[in-house]
Amino acid sequence: MTETDSFKLAAQFDHLPDDAIVTGKTAAIILGRAITEQTLRRNPPIPRRQITQRRYGFRVGDLRALIRGEVQPAAA
């Protein structure tokens, strides 16, 4: 997935179902400057979901709950 693809997916975030999984890069774009992609990899504020053996992502519903303040970031 290219950076342009991540921006396109982030632009369509409101239309994605809650069970959709987005990459860490897309999640970082959606969360803005609040959380970097590196922080999402090392200390994710919400559970990461395994996509393949080596790839992880974040559930759209979990990201929405984090943005709304309904979920507190996981303790370090």
pLDDT category at 49 given cuts 50, 70, 90 is: very high
Q: Give, as one character, the DSSP assignment of residue 4.
A: H
Residue 20 has pLDDT above 90, yes or no: yes
pTM: 0.79
DSSP codes, 24-71 = HHHHHHHHGGGS-HHHHHHS-SS--EESSSS-EEEEHHHHHHHHHTSS
Mean pLDDT is highest, among 5-14, 39-48, 66-75, for 39-48
Residue 56 CB burial class (10 angstroms; 0-12, 13-18, ≥19): middle
Domain boundaries, the chain: 3-68
Residue 53 has pLDDT above 90, yes or no: yes
